Amino acid sequence: MRIKLEKNKPPFKGAIQIYSEGATVQNRFGGDSVKLNALELSIYDTILGCEVGHKSDEMMRGIEWFMKFNPKAYMILLD
């Protein structure tokens, strides 16, 4: 079952911690950086956690969310 992507809601099945503030994040392989709001930062950190935990379905939902709602950040951080 696919979760409908919504701009102001995390794309994951379970609850995640939503940070109270955003931050500027640099591409982890070097290069550009982008400012993320609190929700975007929370989703980005969850994507990285899913990558480490080998949760590919959850990770892909987060990536799809960025592709749809913040393509610039997707291109800088996740592409």
> What amino acid occupies position 7?
K
Q: What's the pLDDT at 24?
A: 98
Dig out the tokens for 11 from the structure: 């794309």
Q: Residues of the chain whose pLDDT is less than 50?
A: none
Residue 57 lies in a domain: yes
The answer to whether position 67 is within a domain reads yes
Residue 39, domain member (yes or no):
yes
pLDDT at 63: 96
Domain of residue 74 covers 23-78
- Residue 3 pLDDT: 75
Give the chain's mean pLDDT. 93
Domain count, the chain: 1
How far is residue 48 from each of residues 1, 21, 68, 74, measured CA to CA in Å? 22, 18, 18, 13
Per-residue pLDDT, 1: 54
Domain assignment present for 58: yes
